[in-house]
DNA sequence: AAAACTCGCAACCGCCCCGAT
DNA sequence: GATCGGGGCGGTTGCGAGTTT
């Protein structure tokens, strides 16, 4: 059974907000507050808008002390560090940056910061996604998970879901940021027993199936570089990845994953939301099915971390085979 | 000068969580 | 304990502005 819509979609206005609507909403909230009920608010305020739309407009644009404009280097570093530690929990990240909204940070990350980081990793590369000779991940300096802990996770308090002590004065080495942010591991790393062993030795599975933890590269036996386009091919890549995982492991082989142990968080939630933090490190045994779910759920993110627009299927992107 | 392309951001969509009943 | 429904969130889309060809 589907959910009832939150409002009568036929009778609500959509699209950009007019100045009149803005002032109506602003005036109403400043006068009466939200009343804890966004759904009822637009009618009371005389707006033909969905309650959720009002909420978004208020939170992202109208509420006081919103900071727009350029992000500072310190803000960049904080965002990167938190992203590396907890993933795309934009609201939590936003909570550490006064005046910034989750939407702002999300947009900033998707449009600028990813690219910025990538360029930092590959300074010689004029076109970040095109490089014919990349070192396989297991042949590079292995990423140390302790760096995560050292520079990110110690700031996170799982009980309050906030970061303390990680502010603009916190120094996060750029080397950490660049080494911990990378393109995904390509399935070819599972091709041989040896490469698989090396891979497993150096990289916690979570960090490779998902977004971080490997030097961005994929390698094939012939070292060639193949172009594929977005769209269906991406899905095929993911399916291939799943296949490699299945082929490469014993039937009942388990992965060890880290997971916060605070109340309100559970195993299933971790599997559904492939973000990890390390404030409380509790090893979790996760079977192959969980890992597959992670791959599926992180589909576009895992294969598109540093790219721009997956929906534009005509665009080409180079992967490293 | 104009068409094509790219970028950035506001807004929407739909799912999940969790409190109320 | 089950169901309902609002709030919150992350992912995605659409479009205007700017840039390139």
Q: Residue A40: which nucleotide is closest by CA–C1'?
A: C6
Strand B–CB A313 distance below 7 A: no
**Alpha-carbon gap, residue A174 to A156, rounded angstroms:** 19
pLDDT of residue A101: 87
pLDDT tens string A61-70: 888 888 877 8
pLDDT band for A222, please (50, 70, 90 cuts): very low
Give the domains, in start order, of chain A with CATH numbers: 16-62 (1.10.10.60), 73-320 (no CATH)
Residue A283, phi then psi, degrees to nearest 5: -65, 140
* Percent of chain A at pLDDT exceeding 90: 0
Taking C1' of B8 and every protein CA, the nearest residue is A111
User: Across-strand partners of A310?
Assistant: none
pLDDT of residue A166: 41
> What is the distance in angstroms measured between the alpha-carbon CA of A240 and the sugar C1' of C4?
41
Strand C–CB A282 distance below 7 A: no
Strand B–CB A3 distance below 7 A: yes
**Alpha-carbon gap, residue A71 to A12, rounded angstroms:** 34
pLDDT of residue A9: 67
Does residue A211 surpass a pLDDT of 70? no
The tokens of A113 are what?
Answer: 């910061």
Q: Report residues 41-80 of A contacting strand B, contact meaning Cβ closer than 7 Å.
A: 49-50, 52-53, 56-57, 60-61, 68
pLDDT band for A6, please (50, 70, 90 cuts): low
Query: A271 vs A84, which has greater pLDDT?
Result: A84
Strand C–CB A277 distance below 7 A: no
Q: Residue A92: which nucleotide is closest by CA–C1'?
A: C9
Does residue A154 surpass a pLDDT of 60? no
Strand C–CB A197 distance below 7 A: no
pLDDT of residue A32: 86
Q: Residue A160's closest CA among A64, A96, A99, A97?
A: A96
Per the CB < 8 A criterion, the answer to whether A184 and A206 are in contact is no
Strand C nucleotides, any atom under 7 Å from protein beta carbons: they are 4-13
Does residue A89 surpass a pLDDT of 70? yes
Does residue A212 surpass a pLDDT of 70? no
Strand C–CB A102 distance below 7 A: yes
pLDDT tens string A237-251: 333 333 333 333 333
Strand C–CB A301 distance below 7 A: yes
pLDDT tens string A292-301: 333 333 333 3
Taking C1' of B7 and every protein CA, the nearest residue is A111
Q: 3-state class of A79 per DSSP?
A: helix
pLDDT of residue A41: 87
Q: Residue A52: which nucleotide is closest by CA–C1'?
A: C7
The CB-side HSE value for A291 (13 A sphere, CA atoms) comes to 26
Does residue A43 surpass a pLDDT of 60? yes
> What is the distance in angstroms measured between the alpha-carbon CA of A67 and the sugar C1' of B20?
36
Does residue A173 surpass a pLDDT of 60? no
Strand C–CB A89 distance below 7 A: yes
Strand B nucleotides, any atom under 7 Å from protein beta carbons: they are 6-18
> What is the distance in angstroms measured between the alpha-carbon CA of A258 and the sugar C1' of C5?
34
Per the CB < 8 A criterion, the answer to whether A142 and A202 are in contact is yes
pLDDT band for A316, please (50, 70, 90 cuts): very low
Q: Residue A110: which nucleotide is closest by CA–C1'?
A: B8
pLDDT band for A266, please (50, 70, 90 cuts): very low
Strand C–CB A237 distance below 7 A: no
Q: Residue A285's closest CA among A213, A229, A205, A190?
A: A205
What is the H or E stretch that residue A41 is in? helix A41-45
Q: Residue A104: which nucleotide is closest by CA–C1'?
A: B9
pLDDT band for A13, please (50, 70, 90 cuts): confident
């Amino acid at each position: 059974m589907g959910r009832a819509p939150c409002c009568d979609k036929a009778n609500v206005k959509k699209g950009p907000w007019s100045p009149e609507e803005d002032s109506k909403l602003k005036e109403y909230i400043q006068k009466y507050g939200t009343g804890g009920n966004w759904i009822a608010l637009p009618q009371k305020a005389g707006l033909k808008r969905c309650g959720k739309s009002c909420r978004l407009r208020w939170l992202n644009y109208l509420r006081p002390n919103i900071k727009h404009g350029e992000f500072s280097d310190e803000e960049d570093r904080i965002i990167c560090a938190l992203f590396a530690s907890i993933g795309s929990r934009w609201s939590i990240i936003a909570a550490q940056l006064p005046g910034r909204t989750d939407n702002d940070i999300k947009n900033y990350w998707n449009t600028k910061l990813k690219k910025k980081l990538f360029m930092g990793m590959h300074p010689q590369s004029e076109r970040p996604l095109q490089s014919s000779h990349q070192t396989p991940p297991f042949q590079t300096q292995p990423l140390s998970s302790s760096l995560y802990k050292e520079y990110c996770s110690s700031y996170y308090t799982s009980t309050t879901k906030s970061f303390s002590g990680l502010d603009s004065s916190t120094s996060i080495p750029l080397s950490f940021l660049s080494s911990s942010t990378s393109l995904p591991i390509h399935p070819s790393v599972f091709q041989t027993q040896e490469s698989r062993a090396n891979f497993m030795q150096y990289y916690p599975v979570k960090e490779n199936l998902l977004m971080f933890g490997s030097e961005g590269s994929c390698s094939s036996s012939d070292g060639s570089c193949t172009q594929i386009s977005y769209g269906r091919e991406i899905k095929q890549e993911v399916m291939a990845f799943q296949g490699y995982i299945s082929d490469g492991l014993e039937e009942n082989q388990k992965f060890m994953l880290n997971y916060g142990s605070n109340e309100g968080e559970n195993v299933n939630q971790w599997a559904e939301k492939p973000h990890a933090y390390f404030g409380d490190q509790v090893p979790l045994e996760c079977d192959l099915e969980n890992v597959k779910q992670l791959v599926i759920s992180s589909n576009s993110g895992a294969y598109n971390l540093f790219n721009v627009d997956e929906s534009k299927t005509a665009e080409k992107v180079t992967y490293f085979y």
